[in-house]
Amino acid sequence: MSDPVLAVDGLSIAFQTRRGPLPAVRDLSFSVGRGEMLAIVGESGCGKSLTALALLGLVPPPGRVTGGTVRLEGRDLLALDEAALRHVRGARISMIFQEPMTALNPVLTVGEQIMEAILEHEPVSRKAARERTLALLERVRIPDPARRFAEYPHRMSGGMRQRVMIAMALAGAPAVLVADEPTTALDVTIQAQILSLIDELRREQGTAVVFITHDLGVVSRYVDRVLVMYAGRKVEERDTRDLFADPFHPYTKGLIAAQPRGLAARPQAGPGPAGVARERLTEIPGTVPALAAMPPGCAFAPRCPLADDRCVRTVPPPRPAGSGLVACHHAGESHAI
């Protein structure tokens, strides 16, 4: 890859408690190039949202970034003060969330708030900002932009609100778009529309996308690479096709086996048609350990059929494997599962 737009190195995040720091994300490294889409996947609580927030300098207390760097176009965001960060957010890196109403202001019309987002980052006239807003609404395929401009967000459907949030996120023409489960609350047909819209934007505008999800099947058609997290650590990172064809980590194998029927076998198939039952094949037995009760070795050991003494004692370091990395003492042998 040429110089990555976003390069995260050794990111660690912990919650400050009376008993000392409780690590939630540990030593996480990844990078995303121009026009590339990376998925971060993993079960609830593995640290996906904390990672997303850290990319924008928004980890809420008592959480705190305790180590690492987040370089955006070469500049370490974690070293910037709040004023400088505000300048970067929205302009060079933007975020979209699962629930658009957390980002949208209920008392402003959709058009007014997109205009405000433009005016915040650029010294253009209100007339020019209005024109850009209409173009953005059209860009995210909102029908009849002139009428929608004057509408309030709560009068729109979930899918339309999600499009408005994407339009706002694009107002400053950012180099990186971080999407934290933006389709999870939507029905399958709308999910597919939003995903293909994000895919189109990155192809046409070269936006680098970090797409966070717990549903590997939904994103498999669109993403170039997948980073699998477990209990705050990266356990595998591979090109999408390779990951589906031959997952190395026992947890990744479990995740793929747990995808709804059809998606696991056909990674390029994308989301199924509306109304198709999203049947789970197998669930991974057991649960993710609590932050305060993390085992000293591999965090997956209590659920892993290959776990031995070494796994219980020492954390497996990430090492090169195929088109990426895997962190497992027995990755080469895990074909036995």
Ligand X SMILES: Nc1ncnc2c1ncn2[C@@H]1O[C@H](COP(=O)(O)OP(=O)(O)OP(=O)(O)O)[C@@H](O)[C@H]1O
Interacting residues toward ligand SF4 by CB under 6 A = 249-250, 298, 300-301, 304, 306-307, 311, 316, 328-330
Residues of this chain, 309-328, that bind ligand X according to CB under 6 A = none
Among residues 200 and 333, whose Cβ is nearest to ligand SF4?
333
Q: List residues bridging with 163 in a β-sheet.
A: none
Of 35, 45, 67, 270, the one binding ligand X (CB under 6 A) is 45
**Contact yes or no for 177/198 (Cβ under 8 A):** yes
Based on the shown chain and the rule CB under 5 A, indicate whether residue 205 belongs to the binding site for Mg ion: no
Toward ligand SF4, which CB reaches closer, 93 or 299?
A: 299
Binding-residue total with ligand X (CB under 6 A):
13
Residue 24: CB minimum distance to Mg ion, A: 12
Q: Which does 104 bind (CB under 5 to 8 A by kind): Mg ion, ligand X, ligand SF4, none?
A: none
| Residue placing its CB nearer to ligand SF4 in the complex, 53 or 331 | 331
Q: What mask, x for binding ligand X by CB under 6 A, covers residues 198 to 237?
A: ----------------x-----------------------
Give φ, ψ of 184 to 5 degrees: -60, -35
Q: How far apart are CA 57 and CA 209, in angstroms?
A: 17
* # binding residues, Mg ion (CB under 5 A): 2
Which residues ranging from 52 to 81 are in contact with ligand X (CB under 6 A)?
62
The partner in contact with residue 301, picked from ligand SF4, Mg ion, ligand X, none with C-beta cut-offs of 5 to 8 angstroms by kind, is ligand SF4
Residue with smaller CB distance to ligand X, 149 or 300: 300
Please identify, using beta-carbon distances, which residue of 47 and 159 lies nearer to ligand X: 47
Q: Which does 298 bind (CB under 5 to 8 A by kind): ligand SF4, Mg ion, ligand X, none?
A: ligand SF4
CA distances from 194 to 148, 158, 183, 186, 233 (A): 18, 11, 7, 9, 28
Number of alpha carbons in the 13 Å side-chain half-sphere of residue 282: 11
Q: Which range of residues in 40-48, 79-87, 164-172, 317-325 is near Mg ion by CB under 5 A?
A: 40-48
Q: Which of 2, 44, 102, 125 binds ligand X (CB under 6 A)?
A: 44
Q: Give the residue carrying structure tokens 């370091």.
A: 317
Residue 49 in contact with Mg ion, rule: CB under 5 A: yes
Minimum Å gap between C-beta 53 and ligand X is 8
Six-digit token pair at 311?
Answer: 């796994």
- In the complex, minimum distance from the CB of residue 104 to ligand SF4, in angstroms, rounded to a whole number: 41
